[in-house]
């Protein structure tokens, strides 16, 4: 984790809807909510087909795969018992059966949705589309979170991963650690989502739960360009009173190009 964080942005951003009381809890209660991937708007998100690389699906490799799995899952079995069970499993040809693979995919996706809590973040606080999609058309707010503080100060450690955007769905190495591939499933998206510049906090066995992160994890707050003026002024006063060191920025629509300008106001 320490090695991976070297290239991570110090601050990552969460866009929120100010009209949503639940979203306000991040700002006023310092609660970070880890959702299930099943609630994301991308239909491929964390639902990629669990498909092995075709060139690895030889009879010998399939036997070795079953052998290693059975040996791990049944430590009290003898060698002959494991060998026979692996041979019988290999003969059934389930790894090449489309119907069986579809059922396997359904179970894998269900396990992922029930196991991994996720927070989606962005490395930028001033993307027009992000403000439009996730902050109620620029009327909401955006919170800058200390990425290292969040990923290093909780036990078990929350893992932080950058989203990889590509055109092809990744395939599994037959002998790859399943946890590594689960992370690939959680953190690989189509290139059409590249503009989000997304990173993800992943917390195992913490689905649909909130984490108390304390005010020190919140470094910056951005107020949407279309947030009503009186609402914005009241929020600025509340933030100054509640936080000792948070930086507050006001967003505005650029007069010269299609961009969001930022100005610090507190």
Beta bridge partners of 33: 210
Q: What global pTM score does this model have?
A: 0.87
* Cα-based distances in Å from 97 to 13, 60, 103, 106, 108: 43, 17, 10, 14, 16
Q: What is the model's pLDDT at position 2?
A: 45
Specify the DSSP element, H or E, that contains 166. strand 164-166
Q: What is the model's pLDDT at position 6?
A: 64
Q: What is the model's pLDDT at position 102?
A: 80
| Chain segment 227-247, per-residue pLDDT in tens | 999 999 999 999 999 998 999
Neighbours of 262 (CB within 10 A): 16
Token pair for residue 27?
Answer: 């700002």
| Chain segment 120-151, per-residue pLDDT in tens | 999 999 999 999 999 999 999 999 999 988 88
Token pair for residue 206?
Answer: 């913490």
Q: What is the model's pLDDT at position 48?
A: 84
Q: What is the model's pLDDT at position 5?
A: 54
Weakest mean pLDDT among 45-49, 140-144, 207-211, 249-253 = 45-49
Asked whether 145 and 12 are in contact (CB, 8 A), the reply is: yes
Residue 156 has pLDDT above 80, yes or no: no
| Chain segment 63-111, per-residue pLDDT in tens | 998 899 899 899 999 999 999 998 898 888 878 777 777 887 788 888 8
* Cα-based distances in Å from 25 to 66, 143, 190, 191, 219: 47, 11, 31, 32, 16
Neighbours of 14 (CB within 10 A): 23
């Amino acid at each position: 984790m320490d090695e991976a964080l070297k290239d991570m942005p110090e601050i990552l951003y969460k866009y929120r809807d100010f009209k949503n009381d639940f979203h306000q809890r991040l700002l006023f209660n310092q609660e970070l909510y880890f959702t299930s991937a099943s609630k994301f708007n991308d239909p491929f998100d964390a639902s990629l087909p669990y498909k092995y690389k075709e060139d690895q699906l030889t009879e010998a490799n399939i036997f070795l795969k079953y052998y290693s799995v059975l040996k791990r899952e049944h430590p009290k079995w003898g060698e002959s018992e494991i060998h026979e069970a692996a041979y019988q499993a290999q003969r059934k040809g389930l790894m090449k059966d489309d119907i069986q693979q579809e059922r396997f995919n359904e179970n894998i996706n269900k396990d992922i949705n029930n196991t991994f809590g996720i927070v989606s973040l962005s490395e930028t606080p001033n993307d027009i589309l992000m403000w439009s999609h996730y902050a109620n058309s620029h009327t909401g707010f955006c919170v800058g979170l200390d990425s290292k503080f969040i990923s290093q100060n909780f036990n078990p450690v929350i893992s932080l991963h950058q989203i990889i955007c590509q055109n092809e769905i990744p395939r599994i190495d037959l002998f790859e650690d399943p946890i590594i591939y689960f992370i690939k499933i959680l953190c690989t998206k189509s290139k059409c989502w590249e503009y989000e510049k997304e990173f993800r906090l992943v917390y195992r066995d913490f689905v649909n739960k909130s984490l108390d992160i304390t005010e020190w994890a919140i470094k910056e707050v951005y107020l949407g360009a279309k947030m009503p003026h009186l609402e914005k002024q009241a929020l600025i006063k509340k933030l100054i009173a509640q936080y000792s060191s948070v930086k507050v920025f006001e967003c505005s629509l650029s007069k010269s190009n299609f961009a969001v300008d930022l100005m610090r106001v507190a």
